[in-house]
Structure 1
Amino acid sequence: MGLLSRVKSAVVGREDESTTILPVVPEDGCDYVCDTCTSKFPASLKFEDTYLWGSVKPWKHHLLISTGKSDWAHGLRDEKESLSVELESWSPKVSGIGRVMVSNSSLAPPPGYFETSDRNERKSTFLVLPTMIEATGVQAKDATKIADTLASISRPTDAFPSELSGVSFTHRDHFAVILLCSHRTRDKRCGVSAPILKKELELHLREHDLLRDASDDRPGGVPIYYVSHVGGHKLGGNVIIYRNSGEGIWMGRVEPKHCKAIVEETVLHGRVYPHSLRGAFKSDW
């Protein structure tokens, strides 16, 4: 097991300089490389072989903006149809909330989204992870206010408005959510690697009856969403996992041969492979 046999726990840095512990895959756990996996990246797909841990800034929440797309304009402000225009320079107003990442995503927009070209009239959906609180019916004029509301919800059991300015809030009962950077416009490698990883992850999630998509809204599952640039294309494939127990786990240099282990150990049990971690946190739930 190499590194895994020497490392007994992963100490995860937090913005408040406290620490928490994420369990490491045990000696008898699933090997990180699956020898039976036949899926591979194209030989031309090259990523940088450098140290991963600490290659991302500490964060506490991740806000997804629904677009129904898998690729976007270069920057958040350049994606004119998305509410990311309003949120490009947004930061939470609530003291002590910590860093919130903002991404465009393949999350399905609400009905009517594609029926209007007026972005001020268009209604979108926000999903905040790992709390999995979703706001539907968000318009441009309310985008930052709703984002502030979502960022202030520190745990799924916190009270949140049943409705605010026509926006409905709900708790999504996912077991976990997986995010894959697919932003081809920023880096072709992400556009190539993400669909391959998604297909392989779906295969192993299906074995546990955990796979969910836009047509399957059963609780307790694991949807996979494409997201825009998260940083570190050279360290792809980037896979970010949020579990309903409060963990955020960001892995780098993920290949199809690693997907079985990621589902079996990290998604199901929250156990990590230290050598693949770019960053992580555990919420105080």
Structure 2
Amino acid sequence: MFRKFSENIISAAVSPFSSAPSTPAATAASSTLDIQSLSIASSASSHQARAKVERQLADELAKFGVPMSTEDCAGCDDHQEGCDESEGAGHVTHVQYPRGFDVDWDSDLLASAKPQPRQLVISTGRSDWPHDHTEDETTLSHHLNNALMKAAGITPAPPLKPDQGGKEKDEKALPPAPPPPPPTNPPGMIEITVGKDGLPQGIYEAPATQITPSMQDEPSPTGIPEQPGTMLFSSSLISQSHEGHRETVLAFPDWKVVVDVTNDERGAEGVLTDLVSRTEAQGDSARRTWTLPYRAVVLLSAVSNGSDPRLLGSHKRRDKRCHIAAPLLEKALCQSLEEHHVSVDLQGHSLSADHLEQAFPPLDQIPTDELPIEVEKRLRAIDAVDDAQGNGEVGIFRISHLGGHRYAGVMIICFPSGATLYYGRVSPREIPAVVKETLLGGKILSGLLRSAGNAVRPELVAEHGEEDAGKKIKTVCQRKGKTLLSW
């Protein structure tokens, strides 16, 4: 079926990339945005029509300074018209999802994800988790969730007992999800809504993340500095700590890894404090921070394959598409990246303290006033970080529930520049284009785009002659360069 892209005029909540504090338990205030619409129509009767619509969407987003790919290889049917089949039909990127793999092709994909300004990815060494992975009190995810609520002044509720609607109730089958709303536009219609900040809905600009001496005039009453909106993900990442009770945390768009984090309340609060404000003494001499060594990181939603008896059976049925898609996408990514001579890290071997300190000392040893320059120097030193041909290393990790499993396969792609992409409706057939155009070329495939953060490049606006739009965009974005690889 043809992929329709449209956005409707909405009454929007506060931008996910606002600086207001947000936690998994907090509710943002709402405000109405003045929105302007622009539409494009085309036929939807063939692959050529679908490709034409995707190119038109790419052209429209490019006018707002978003680096877009014009390649016509994303999601093509039966690998026709320009796709490279030199590897033969048995190539992993030609694998199709099994019969019955139900994907929502009717709902709008653009702006179907609402990311927070920051994503934290926590090591567990597993590849499946319950739907709410933060409920497991033995995990660092649980402690981080509680620390975020504490920073926002929210008291975490005690876990429910079975007779209060706890685990026994959860194990019952969930009611079926309501059907998606019917499409509001005719097939082939693209409608992009633009907010007051001059950016289309689904394209967000987050404040630059950096460590400062303090983000508050007075010490926080909770002992934890004010936090940006944060999403937590458990992951297949394996902690490389020499001590079994310590974990690893990846922070995006900070592009940092915190190693040897104690799996307790103190360790969780220390991570949040370290990422936002600098203290003279961290209190835990083993916890250290480095910039990530990868040229990109791909996070694949993988919940749940149901192999763990502790997981909820209802969630297995609900998210079976993700656990089917993730291993196929992972295999296709590995193969495509290796063809470009790009190494792949699936477990986090490159994140051991022993390996990281061979290149640089931990950031904790750098004076606060020298830190921004030092971080940028290390980012630019990442192997092949700006090489569109290949080489370097990409981290690929499976993560807990991402949301939007009806658009499976779904993934997050992060870059050292701070850009973050949410992709949906990805199958192994799209992976060569994802690797060539997005991971190596730093450009977005419009046919897969759910949302993008820190993806605007004002220099591109000038190329399209949108002078008024360019002036408005530059008020929310001062980034330079022409791809997601530059900052």
C-alpha displacement of 1:77: 2.7
Per-residue CA distance 1:33-84 (angstroms, 9 max, x = gap):
3623421111121121221111122422210000111001331233333211
- Which whole-Å CA distance do the structure 2 matches of 1:281 and 1:11 have between them? 15
Is 1:33 the equivalent of 2:165? no
Is 1:46 the equivalent of 2:102? yes
Moved more, 67-76 or 92-101: 92-101
Aligned residue pairs: how many? 264
Q: Which ranges of 4 or more aligned residues in structure 1 deviate by more than 6 Å? A: 159-163
Is 1:99 the equivalent of 2:229? yes
Helix, strand or coil for the counterpart of 2:249? strand
CA RMSD of aligned residues (A): 2.8
The structure carrying a bigger strand percent of its residues is 1
> Which amino acid letter does the alignment assign opposite residue 252 of structure 2?
L
Helix, strand or coil for the counterpart of 1:22? coil
> Which amino acid letter does the alignment assign opposite residue 169 of structure 1?
T
Q: 1:10 aligns with which of 58, 61, 84?
A: 61
User: Cα–Cα, structure 1 residues 169 and 67, in superposed 2: closer, same or farther, change >3 Å?
Assistant: same
- Which whole-Å CA distance do the structure 2 matches of 1:162 and 1:66 have between them? 25
Structure 1 or 2, whichever has the larger Rg, is 2
Helix, strand or coil for the counterpart of 1:72? coil
Aligned to 1:119: none
Aligned to 1:246: 418
Per-residue CA distance 1:228-258 (angstroms, 9 max, x = gap):
0011111111111001122100001111100
> Which amino acid letter does the alignment assign opposite residue 101 of structure 1?
M
Q: Scaled by the length of structure 2, what TM-score is found?
A: 0.50
Per-residue CA distance 1:94-115 (angstroms, 9 max, x = gap):
688642211000111133555x
Structure 1 regions of 5+ residues with no counterpart? 13-19, 115-121, 154-158
> Which amino acid letter does the alignment assign opposite residue 181 of structure 1?
S
- Which whole-Å CA distance do the structure 2 matches of 1:70 and 1:164 have between them? 32
Aligned to 2:251: 128
- Which whole-Å CA distance do the structure 2 matches of 1:41 and 1:135 have between them? 36
C-alpha displacement of 1:193: 0.9
> 1:160·1:169 contact (CA, 8 Å) conserved in 2?
no
Moved more, 137-146 or 161-170: 161-170
- Which whole-Å CA distance do the structure 1 matches of 2:281 and 2:429 have between them? 43
Helix, strand or coil for the counterpart of 1:258? helix
Helix, strand or coil for the counterpart of 1:21? coil
Helix, strand or coil for the counterpart of 1:209? coil
Is 1:75 the equivalent of 2:247? no
Q: Scaled by the length of structure 1, what TM-score is found?
A: 0.82
User: Cα–Cα, structure 1 residues 245 and 102, in superposed 2: closer, same or farther, change >3 Å?
Assistant: same
> 1:67·1:104 contact (CA, 8 Å) conserved in 2?
yes
Structure 2 regions of 5+ residues with no counterpart? 1-50, 80-84, 86-92, 153-214, 217-225, 307-314, 356-382, 384-391, 456-478, 480-486
Aligned to 1:59: 116
Aligned to 1:210: 342
- Which whole-Å CA distance do the structure 1 matches of 2:343 and 2:75 have between them? 21
User: Cα–Cα, structure 1 residues 150 and 276, in superposed 2: closer, same or farther, change >3 Å?
Assistant: farther
What does 1:109-258 align with in structure 2 at a 5 Å threshold? 109-112=239-242, 114=244, 122-139=245-262, 140-149=264-273, 151-152=275-276, 165=284, 166-184=286-304, 186=315, 187-213=319-345, 214=347, 217=350, 219=383, 220-258=392-430
